[in-house]
Amino acid sequence: MNIPDFTSVYWSISLTAFFFLIITGRYFLVAGTFYLAFYVWFPDKWANRKINKKPYKKGQLKTEVKWSLLSSVIFSVAGTITVILWQKDYTKVYTDPHLYGLWYLPASLIIFMLAHETYYYWIHRWMHIPSVYRVVHKIHHNSKIASPFTAFSFHPWEALLQAIFLPVMLMVLPMHYFVILLQLIIMTVSSVINHLDIEIYPKNSRNTFGKWVIGATHHSLHHKQFKYNFGLYFTFWDRLKKTEAPGFTDAMCGKGNTRKASLTIPDAPLDEFK
Ligand SMILES: [Zn+2]
Ligand SMILES: [Zn+2]
């Protein structure tokens, strides 16, 4: 098969445009479906799982979509750079699923997610240093109450920090291209779930899965309080470094409904970070 030279201007721009369509399509499909299902079609069904009862600020969703489109441009460029690295043989991406054994397919996904968790937890804490926060992370936190469209709403600096992780990892960790695609889908769906502001994990998972895997309760508390709950997919770093919001276990595992429990946790002072 003849593969075009992706370093040429024509092919690098075409590939970036192609990635932009795929990435924005995925964003609108996942965030849009969750928004319609939880906020438009069946809001009553989820009313007692809604974490913040205040309405969204006027124009918030539109602003989030604008920042998300800009983030998607950066993710698309990162995608093209990844393909060029692959073409120049700098990555460990492979195509034969039997190359490392079938067991390695899920293993590589887990290794990637644990590494991603560690990377994100620590850069997220760094982004909350006030001088860094103002430049890099404030845009994301302008959404005091998260929505599905907050999922990609980042300042370009933050989008860049997020985008470089995949190509760098692919230079050191062998991954089948199918596992990479699956990881990209997981990343988008989990970001939308975490920003939904409606707890969708079943009640009977509160003491197991819901305790270790981040969902809306965990991340809404981060948007409310700033100084807790920095994790991405899993709670273990927050538990280990004692940065889990004091009210999280009650909100997630306590008696009563999630919203009532979450509302007992105060918002961060509004002037904490300006
Ligand atoms: Zn967030
Ligand atoms: Zn943050």
Number of the ligand closest to the Cα of 151: 1
Whole-number Å distance between alpha carbons of 250 and 246: 8
- Tell me what the mean pLDDT of segment 50-59 comes to: 87
Contact 35, 120 (CB under 8 A): no
Q: Which of 42-51, 63-72, 107-116 shows the lowest per-residue confidence on average (mean pLDDT)?
A: 42-51
Whole-number Å distance, alpha carbon 195 to ligand 1 midpoint, is 6
Read off the pLDDT of residues 177-187 as tens digits, 9 standing for 90 and up.
999 999 999 99
Read off the pLDDT of residues 199-243 as tens digits, 9 standing for 90 and up.
888 877 767 777 789 989 889 989 988 889 999 999 999 999 999
Higher pLDDT, residue 93 or 259: 93
pTM, rounded to two decimals:
0.88
| The pLDDT value given to residue 211 | 79
Whole-number Å distance, alpha carbon 216 to ligand 1 midpoint, is 10
Assign 253 a pLDDT band (cuts: 50, 70, 90). low
SS3 50: strand
Whole-number Å distance, alpha carbon 8 to ligand 2 midpoint, is 38
Mean pLDDT of the chain: 88
At a CB cut-off of 8 Å and minimum separation 6, what does 193 contact?
34, 200, 215, 216
| The pLDDT value given to residue 1 | 65
| The pLDDT value given to residue 55 | 84
Establish how many alpha carbons lie within 13 A of residue 3's alpha carbon, considering only the half-sphere containing its beta carbon.
Answer: 9
Whole-number Å distance, alpha carbon 206 to ligand 2 midpoint, is 24
| The pLDDT value given to residue 48 | 82
Whole-number Å distance, alpha carbon 101 to ligand 1 midpoint, is 36
- Largest Cα span, the chain: 61
**What is the percentage of the chain residues whose pLDDT exceeds 90?**
66
**What is the percentage of the chain residues whose pLDDT exceeds 70?**
90
- Tell me what the mean pLDDT of segment 14-26 comes to: 96
Assign 274 a pLDDT band (cuts: 50, 70, 90). very low
Assign 245 a pLDDT band (cuts: 50, 70, 90). confident
Residue 271, pLDDT > 80, answer no
> Strand 175-176 to strand 93-94: parallel, antiparallel, or no bridges (unpaired)?
parallel
